[in-house]
């Protein structure tokens, strides 16, 4: 129950404690061989020429853990991965960040890391979609692309020789995020998976789970193909007079988010907040289940942040994992 700030009555406290204890027992059974605490012995085969990595040490001829976590093995390297840790960028990570400075030929972003990240002008697609060298005019127009406080989705490109973290946004799925909410959760709750972009069609929203603990919940926007746009623009230029009114109506539609979609965004965002408060791993499956649970109980959006719903989510997750463990057994 560490870190949970809920006003629970006595019955709710007992129910929540019982659910969390059940979850802890199930996770300890699943990771009984991998989980270690300080001074636990890590079984290794010395004939393989073991390399002792982070979180390990040698004591009386045995490899022991110097921190709590999960034992990981990569070829001959043995190390302990902390269960709760700060975000450590890896090449290829999908991250969500906020622009804090527009500098010469680059944007500086806050990404929930020990230092700011850098997105170079040359590392992103230009609005016209044409691949070309960046000119002085492009540099002058940088604020028309991204400005301070804009929320951006990008990919980790790597560390440069000066130690700075560089990003890239060379795909249509990356770029500026609008009409939604940015949520911050502990990075260790978001596991690296094959897919971090999710389109929840039933709610008409997009969900981006940033590896850095920044989560975006916003209105679904179709990715546009520049080649198709060019063809459309050419055909529209032939009939400019009749298309002016249509363009104005289209712009109005683009800046308007229907009330139902706004409610879905807020409901999904509150589901993420509840899961973060309980310390559960945040995946699209668990988020969807939490949203469906709130809808089935006919709860208002603000009621999702109440004590009773948090307890219900914990009890449901404990039951789900129990049934999953039973099936595997």
Count the alpha carbons within 13 Å of 272 in the hemisphere toward its beta carbon.
Answer: 26
* CA–CA dist 312, 290 (Å, integer): 10
Collect the ranges in the chain with pLDDT lower than 50.
1-4, 225-244, 246, 249
Predicted confidence (pLDDT) per residue in 223-249, tens digit: 654 444 444 344 444 444 444 454 554
Considering its fold, how many domains does the chain have in total?
A: 2
Global confidence as pTM: 0.79
Same domain, 96 and 186: no
Residue ending a domain, among 115, 144, 177, is: 177
The helix (run of H) or strand (run of E) holding residue 87 is none
The count of other CB atoms within 10 Å of the CB of residue 48 is 10
Same domain, 147 and 173: yes
Predicted confidence (pLDDT) per residue in 38-89, tens digit: 888 888 876 667 888 888 988 888 888 898 888 888 888 888 888 777 888 9
**Predicted local distance difference test score (pLDDT) of residue 222:** 75
DSSP 7-39: ---HHHHHHHHHHHHHHHHHHHHHTTTTEE-TT
The 3-state DSSP class for residue 216 equals strand
Residue 198: inside a domain, yes or no?
yes
Same domain, 172 and 183: no
Both tokens assigned to 213: 């603990």
Same domain, 275 and 198: yes
Parent domain of 91: 84-177
Same domain, 131 and 214: no
* CA–CA dist 71, 84 (Å, integer): 14
DSSP secondary structure letter of residue 280? -
Residue ending a domain, among 152, 177, 202, is: 177
Residue 207: inside a domain, yes or no?
yes
What is the distance of C-alpha 303 from the center of its chain? 24
Residue ending a domain, among 177, 199, 214, is: 177
Residue 105: inside a domain, yes or no?
yes
């Amino acid at each position: 129950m560490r870190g949970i700030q809920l006003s629970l009555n006595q019955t709710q406290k007992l129910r929540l404690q019982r659910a969390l204890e059940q979850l802890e027992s199930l996770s300890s059974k699943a990771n009984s061989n991998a989980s270690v605490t300080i001074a636990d012995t890590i079984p290794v085969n010395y004939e393989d020429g073991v390399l002792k990595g982070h979180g390990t040490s040698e004591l009386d001829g045995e490899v022991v853990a110097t921190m709590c976590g999960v034992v990981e093995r990569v070829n001959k390297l043995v190390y302990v991965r902390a269960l709760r840790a700060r975000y450590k960028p890896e090449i290829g990570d999908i991250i969500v960040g906020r622009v804090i400075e527009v500098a010469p030929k680059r944007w500086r972003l806050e990404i929930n890391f020990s230092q700011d990240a850098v997105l170079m002008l040359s590392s992103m697609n230009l609005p016209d979609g044409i691949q070309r060298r960046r000119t002085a005019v492009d540099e002058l127009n940088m604020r028309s692309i991204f400005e301070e406080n804009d929320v951006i989705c990008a990919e980790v490109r790597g560390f440069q020789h000066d130690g700075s973290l560089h990003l890239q946004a060379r795909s249509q799925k990356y770029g500026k995020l609008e009409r939604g909410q940015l949520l911050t959760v502990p990075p260790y709750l978001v596991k690296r998976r094959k897919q971090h972009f999710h389109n929840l069609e039933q709610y008409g929203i997009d969900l981006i789970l940033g590896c850095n603990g920044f989560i975006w919940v916003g209105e679904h926007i179709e990715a546009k193909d520049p080649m198709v746009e060019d063809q459309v623009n050419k055909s529209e230029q032939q009939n400019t007079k009749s298309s002016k009114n249509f363009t104005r109506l289209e712009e109005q539609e683009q800046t308007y988010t229907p009330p139902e979609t706004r409610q879905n965004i807020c409901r999904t965002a509150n589901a993420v907040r509840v899961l973060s408060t309980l310390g559960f791993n945040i995946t699209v499956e668990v988020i969807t289940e939490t949203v469906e649970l709130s809808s089935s109980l006919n709860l208002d959006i603000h009621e999702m942040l109440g004590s009773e719903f948090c307890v219900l989510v914990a009890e449901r997750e404990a039951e789900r994992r129990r049934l999953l463990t039973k099936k595997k057994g």
